[in-house]
Structure 1
């Protein structure tokens, strides 16, 4: 089973919500739509699912043009960030409803519902009504109803966003195994780069209604095609700064380091350096690093990580490091940047070279 978009666009009034997009989505792993709020993820899902018609272009399922078909005729499942359940039915009946519509035998319905309920930790709630469940339990009910259905495609639009942290982590691990081997195209929208990396598969990076890059998730993380893709696939935002390649060195203000690997092959001139916050640390790493000292302006503690926003060379930088570090706002603090994890972008914004650690 394949799902293909050919030259699809979506215009609302004078605004182009989805720029011309062509993609081939296949089973055997997640197809992830990664982008910030209003990047176009939900609109793209609606176009794929038949909830909205494209202004131009076509949607194909297994080579058949389904552009004009309703969602019901496409045999799809859709789970939103905001759960939808039938309030007058029990949890069991909610999950079983698409199977009954499809005429699945009663015994098979019970087996499939119970299997999904066990995976999603719903078995004790099967006799309850949705209004008797917590928000997280209701979302799990909606997920279970989607996965028991024999769908040609399953669309998951930020389905874990409203769940608590522990359950979200558990479901991230379980969903790929749960949906594997079904021959179903799975499309998963998220605004979290970490979630995309955990789910693997293939990722389409979206920015302002445009797919900037599409390919194996790990590969596009290691090699963003351009500045926009690098920004989409970084949270907190990637650090950017102008640098100069001069002979065998890279110059950044008063700092410099050797140009090695791909970077050594760059023509002398101006470039934009990109380095993710996780590769600027307050402690010296094992990898070769460049020491930098900046004025700390904001600090954040989030569980096992410390985030520091600091100024250096008239620019704001962000560092994310494991553990708790004793930053003091308004004072200078030392940091270590790892050149091997840096990206170098040309005047046109395209990736020109990567640090040696990306190879």
Structure 2
């Protein structure tokens, strides 16, 4: 059976361990030639999903099919998959060439074919001149590239990457992230599935973004769609860094009241919603410190590169403000927060999206 160039479809995959849902009714289709980024917080079920796809973990119920075949019953060695782990795994006693060649030799390929594949893969990951080095002579980023080259050399139909950049420093992550996009886009009909906790990574690398939380796929779609139309408050939190500010408010006779103030200007996109209680969302970049606005008290300040993140409480409601530059704000300061009403997302009381901001092309269909 040829498993190449066909979709991989999961339907209602469920797995419970000691009363905890590791996978809950996971339904998704993974397409050949596409990069799928699965984003979720730690313990969301991302690694479990990859292990099920690789055949390393069973499920309680559900189906997994490819080319009409029951993939759950397909032996691991016939699944045509390769997996790169968060903690890169290389054989310390073998040099770079032999690390990459190891699975090819196990598969019985000819010497010439092994040399061709290994050298091609090492060139693709920028390690063409490192064939004879041992892993101990490499940096962390180079060792992760060796693990990736080994997976690429196999030429598998399904490439699984479990947070492969998580253990690297920020600068190296940025560098490899850009390189990975180019590398993965040249994978032909390979299904690439990449897990991450980083929204920027998910958006940059993914052709399709799947948001996972507590074992469930909450939303899947193109990056811009998931970012601009988060289906729920949970998705909005996960897909934004820092998480989107979510707070309670009301609409009465077309008047929007949020965080203790009336959004008299800029909230026209919400005015036709039915009266009642809502949850509203506002990205950290759409909140600023100003001379006039909502009263808040600074609870925490963090500086990251050229940005300052100010955490402030408006009554019992926490906000995060993302500001360009370094700002002299300290714990306990009383500040004024300016909220941009035209950037408000509206969710119902259960947390389901009902309206997107006015700067988006259109509201959610049917709302």
Report the TM-score, using the length of structure 1 for normalisation: 0.92
Give the 5 Å matches for 1:1-359: 1-180=6-185, 181-252=187-258, 253-258=260-265, 260=267, 262-282=269-289, 291-359=293-361
C-alpha separation between the residues in 1 aligned to 2:235 and 2:110? Answer: 48
Distance 1:259 1:333, change over 3 A: closer
C-alpha separation between the residues in 2 aligned to 1:215 and 1:312? Answer: 34
Distance 1:259 1:265, change over 3 A: farther
C-alpha displacement of 1:74: 0.5
- Consecutive aligned runs of 4 or more in structure 1 exceeding 6 Å deviation: none
Structure 1 residue matching 2:41: 3-state secondary structure = coil
C-alpha displacement of 1:335: 3.1
Distance 1:316 1:111, change over 3 A: same
Distance 1:116 1:337, change over 3 A: farther
C-alpha separation between the residues in 1 aligned to 2:22 and 2:358? Answer: 38
CA root-mean-square deviation:
2.1
Greater CA drift, 38-47 or 264-273 = 264-273
C-alpha separation between the residues in 1 aligned to 2:171 and 2:90? Answer: 23
Task: Give a deviation string over 1:130-183, Cα, whole Å, max 9, x none.
Answer: 233233322111011112221110000000111232322122122232122420
The answer as to whether partners of 1:308 and 1:318 remain within 8 angstroms in 2 is yes
Q: Aligned pairs, how many?
A: 354
Task: Give a deviation string over 1:61-96, Cα, whole Å, max 9, x none.
Answer: 233212022322101010110011122321011112
The answer as to whether partners of 2:254 and 2:273 remain within 8 angstroms in 1 is no
The answer as to whether partners of 1:249 and 1:259 remain within 8 angstroms in 2 is no
Distance 1:202 1:63, change over 3 A: same
Structure 2 residue matching 1:123: 3-state secondary structure = coil
C-alpha separation between the residues in 1 aligned to 2:21 and 2:171? Answer: 38
Structure 2 residue matching 1:176: 3-state secondary structure = helix
C-alpha displacement of 1:247: 2.5
Task: Give a deviation string over 1:266-312, Cα, whole Å, max 9, x none.
Answer: 1122111111212213369xxxxx94342212111111110001121
Structure 1 residue matching 2:59: 3-state secondary structure = coil
Structure 1 residue matching 2:143: 3-state secondary structure = helix
Greater CA drift, 329-338 or 300-309 = 329-338
The answer as to whether partners of 1:91 and 1:128 remain within 8 angstroms in 2 is yes
C-alpha separation between the residues in 2 aligned to 1:129 and 1:99? Answer: 19
Gaps of 5+ in 1: 285-289
C-alpha separation between the residues in 2 aligned to 1:12 and 1:296? Answer: 41
The answer as to whether partners of 1:59 and 1:66 remain within 8 angstroms in 2 is yes
Gaps of 5+ in 2: 1-5, 362-367
The residue number in structure 2 matching 1:287 is: none
The answer as to whether partners of 1:136 and 1:163 remain within 8 angstroms in 2 is yes
Report the TM-score, using the length of structure 2 for normalisation: 0.90
Structure 1 residue matching 2:296: 3-state secondary structure = strand
